Structure 1
Amino acid sequence: MNERLSLALAVEAVSLPEGRILLLRPPSDLHLEGLPGDPVAVQGFKPDHDALAARGLSVSPDLNGSHDAAVVFVARAKALTYDLIALACAQLPEGATIVVDGQKVDGVDSVLRHCRKFFDVGEVYSKAHGKTFSFPSSTAPHGWAAMPATKDGFVTRPGVFSADGIDAGSALLAEHLTGVSGRVCDLGAGWGYLSRAVLAQPDVTSCSLIEAEHDALDCARANIDDARATFHWEDATRWTGGAFDVVVSNPPFHTARKADPSLGRAFITAAARILTPQGRLLMVANRHLPYEETLNATFAEVRVLTDQGGFKVIEAKKPKRQRGRK
């Protein structure tokens, strides 16, 4: 359980007023005890959103209403963190409290140094490989609020996967989508690059974009104008839609900053679950990731279509019936 904020409040290193407290992208394991007032969260990552909601916290992917103070949780993407601080500054009255909490591995030390240049930062509380600090709200520095960006002809936002443009793995997979047809699912669709490539195929009847990051899905809606596309803010590993003729995927493989192949394995299992008996999965993965055992356990036919530039494109056909699967 992430207790650093609660501990910082308990020792009065930082303080929050009674009232409506805005939590910007809180982690799913945030320790909620000790938070004063009426905390409300903005969390656009579906698994964390659902976990927080299940714990009874008021949570939404979008910002709503007015607030008396805010807590910004440092994100892996530095540009996103500064955008969140700018959002808090714009949302709160002048002088209202903004608390920042984050891990060292996510760059909280750098964020602290930058905040000290522009804000009146108070006591810094260090605990559990991270820091918590606060300052009165004022006008955010120029450039901290994220502006709409277009990369390689696609709308992107800070914090989404490959925000700086098309990633090499997806580009390689796109080369193998020629001839895709029928009902297609883009599992972990991001801002829509692979789905646009899918929809360029004339025999595709529909394409369902499944994406856990709300901001990325908003970008996908801006990038794709095709009646065959549908957009679903869902955790791809738990989604129960189907049945599809083809699943395409560039699955994530990180939890925080650590490589976590179990995410990719969960995507493979999900693909097998939502495909028709004769369906196929087309996926790309970093060469070193050990997915073969899971692929062979869930599909009758598996082959590597190409292996280049550190990536492998894999085709898996005929999902095996798993025990308990209908």
Structure 2
Amino acid sequence: MLDSRLPLALNGGGLVWPDEGPIAVFAPSPDADLDGIPKERAKIVHDFYPAHAAWSGRGFDVAVVSEDSYAAAVVCLPRAKTEARAMIAEACALSKGVVVIDGQKTDGIEGILKAMKARVSVHGPVTKAHGKLFWIDAPAADCFADWAAGPQLGEGGFWTAPGVFSADGVDLASALLADALPGKLGKQVCDLGAGWGFLSAHILMREGVEAVHLVEANHMALECARRNVSDPRAEFHWADGTDWAPAFKLDTIVMNPPFHVGRAAEPQIGQAFVASAARLLAPHGHLWMVANRHLPYEAELKTRFMQVDEVGSDARFKLFHASRPLRKRRGQS
């Protein structure tokens, strides 16, 4: 963890911050301790809504996108290799001083270290807690320019971006769900956890839809969705799908909910999406959902909806249609 490695680098390891100026910290985990970075100088760059909100709640200066320049930068390595390289390229282009890279072995820090050593002089590394931290002196702005990456037009004419779910093409589960949607979905429809907008594009093909609400926590994914779903009936919401709270009830929710943040499956995330769907739907509302076959969602669906049916499946995925959400009594979650 950054918490354990950064203090070692600063206290006798040779890492020194510039005397003044902002220090960008790209994509730190919400519970990280930035010990060693003065709070008044730290500029958090995070486009994942829950993490952004968590850092704001802790009193830090947080931005969705980076500013023009920083005195120094810290990159907390994400899991996706292309996204990690793009983040490093951005940090190097914007930092006037040292650039620090920190990450776990499971997130590819060894490969990044090797690749950067082939181009520039590297200081460190500090090795602890199954990860490494190293840094480079003020790099030339373009020394990693070939690692830069942003939204790109891909399979089927859809825009995606590094680090976005299903960045390499249409997700098979979402495709299965899109094919199963009925001809009518109601007037107010929500794509909960919309990603780059594949399901929303299909929702808008259904009869009678007056608005589709794309709710997505990943800001870059939502920016891709804006390119992919140009229909004026589309409304975009950068928000956490588990606590989004519009002023109206919905006729239908369509979703392929996330089930992990790191590498390990976390089915409680999908269960929270089911609970959120029940909360957001009108009494006559319908939920159409796809999930990996091994994930335990049936019990949560039956707790939250009066009617639950498995309406299709293949070797990997299950399709559910749930209706008539059950209202929890006051005091129940």
Query: Residue 89 of structure 2 contacts residue 145 of structure 2 at CA under 8 Å; is this kept in 1?
Result: no
Deviation per CA, 1:278-324: give whole Å up to 9, x if none.
Answer: 10110100001000110000000001110103001111111101122
Q: Does the residue aligned with 2:146 lie in a helix, a strand or coil?
A: coil
Q: Does the residue aligned with 1:265 lie in a helix, a strand or coil?
A: helix
Residue 32 (1) aligns with residue 38 (2)? no
Aligned to 1:233: 238
Q: Which stretches in structure 2 are left out of the alignment for 5+ residues?
A: none
Which among 191, 199, 219 is matched to residue 196 of structure 2?
A: 191
Q: Does the residue aligned with 2:226 lie in a helix, a strand or coil?
A: helix
Q: Does the residue aligned with 1:254 lie in a helix, a strand or coil?
A: coil
Query: Residue 68 of structure 2 contacts residue 94 of structure 2 at CA under 8 Å; is this kept in 1?
Result: no
Residue 153 (1) aligns with residue 120 (2)? no
Deviation per CA, 1:98-126: give whole Å up to 9, x if none.
Answer: 00011111111111111111111011001
Aligned to 2:102: 101
One-letter code aligned to 1:311: F
Mark the CA change 1:142 to 1:65 in structure 2 (over 3 Å): closer, same or farther. Answer: closer
Residue 209 (1) aligns with residue 214 (2)? yes
Residue 324 (1) aligns with residue 325 (2)? no
Residue 3 (1) aligns with residue 6 (2)? no
In the alignment, the residues of structure 2 paired with residue 254 and residue 10 of structure 1 have an alpha-carbon distance, to the nearest angstrom, of 35
Which among 92, 96, 106 is matched to residue 95 of structure 2?
A: 92
Aligned to 1:244: 250
Q: Which stretches in structure 1 are left out of the alignment for 5+ residues?
A: none
Residue 141 (1) aligns with residue 144 (2)? yes
Q: Does the residue aligned with 2:190 lie in a helix, a strand or coil?
A: strand
Which among 291, 297, 301 is matched to residue 291 of structure 1?
A: 297
In the alignment, the residues of structure 1 paired with residue 23 and residue 65 of structure 2 have an alpha-carbon distance, to the nearest angstrom, of 15
Residue 257 (1) aligns with residue 256 (2)? no
Residue 177 (1) aligns with residue 181 (2)? yes
Q: CA deviation at 1:2?
A: 5.0
Deviation per CA, 1:209-256: give whole Å up to 9, x if none.
Answer: 000000000000111111111000001101112410000000011131
Residue 64 (1) aligns with residue 70 (2)? no
The percentage of counterpart residues that share the same residue type is 44
Query: Residue 25 of structure 2 contacts residue 44 of structure 2 at CA under 8 Å; is this kept in 1?
Result: yes
Aligned to 1:130: 131
In the alignment, the residues of structure 2 paired with residue 272 and residue 220 of structure 1 have an alpha-carbon distance, to the nearest angstrom, of 25
Deviation per CA, 1:184-226: give whole Å up to 9, x if none.
Answer: 0010000000000001113111100000000000000111111
Worse overlay, 40-49 or 63-72: 63-72
In the alignment, the residues of structure 2 paired with residue 309 and residue 325 of structure 1 have an alpha-carbon distance, to the nearest angstrom, of 39
Mark the CA change 1:104 to 1:157 in structure 2 (over 3 Å): closer, same or farther. Answer: same
Q: CA deviation at 1:65?
A: 3.9
Worse overlay, 297-306 or 55-64: 55-64
Worse overlay, 175-184 or 246-255: 175-184
One-letter code aligned to 1:210: V
Aligned to 2:172: 168
In the alignment, the residues of structure 1 paired with residue 2 and residue 330 of structure 2 have an alpha-carbon distance, to the nearest angstrom, of 35
Aligned to 1:272: 278
Residue 300 (1) aligns with residue 300 (2)? no
One-letter code aligned to 2:219: H
In the alignment, the residues of structure 2 paired with residue 282 and residue 162 of structure 1 have an alpha-carbon distance, to the nearest angstrom, of 20
Query: Residue 191 of structure 2 contacts residue 214 of structure 2 at CA under 8 Å; is this kept in 1?
Result: yes
In the alignment, the residues of structure 2 paired with residue 268 and residue 15 of structure 1 have an alpha-carbon distance, to the nearest angstrom, of 47
Q: Does the residue aligned with 1:124 lie in a helix, a strand or coil?
A: strand
Mark the CA change 1:77 to 1:50 in structure 2 (over 3 Å): closer, same or farther. Answer: same
Worse overlay, 61-70 or 208-217: 61-70
In the alignment, the residues of structure 2 paired with residue 304 and residue 257 of structure 1 have an alpha-carbon distance, to the nearest angstrom, of 27
How many residue pairs are counted as aligned between the two chains?
324
In the alignment, the residues of structure 2 paired with residue 216 and residue 252 of structure 1 have an alpha-carbon distance, to the nearest angstrom, of 13
One-letter code aligned to 1:174: A
Aligned to 1:220: 225
Aligned to 1:23: 25
Query: Residue 286 of structure 1 contacts residue 311 of structure 1 at CA under 8 Å; is this kept in 2?
Result: yes
Query: Residue 268 of structure 1 contacts residue 295 of structure 1 at CA under 8 Å; is this kept in 2?
Result: yes
One-letter code aligned to 1:144: W
In the alignment, the residues of structure 2 paired with residue 12 and residue 44 of structure 1 have an alpha-carbon distance, to the nearest angstrom, of 31
TM normalised by structure 2 equals 0.93
In the alignment, the residues of structure 1 paired with residue 275 and residue 81 of structure 2 have an alpha-carbon distance, to the nearest angstrom, of 32
- Aligned-residue RMSD, C-alpha: 1.6
Q: CA deviation at 1:147?
A: 4.5
TM normalised by structure 1 equals 0.95
In the alignment, the residues of structure 1 paired with residue 102 and residue 49 of structure 2 have an alpha-carbon distance, to the nearest angstrom, of 21
Worse overlay, 232-241 or 144-153: 144-153
In the alignment, the residues of structure 1 paired with residue 166 and residue 329 of structure 2 have an alpha-carbon distance, to the nearest angstrom, of 36
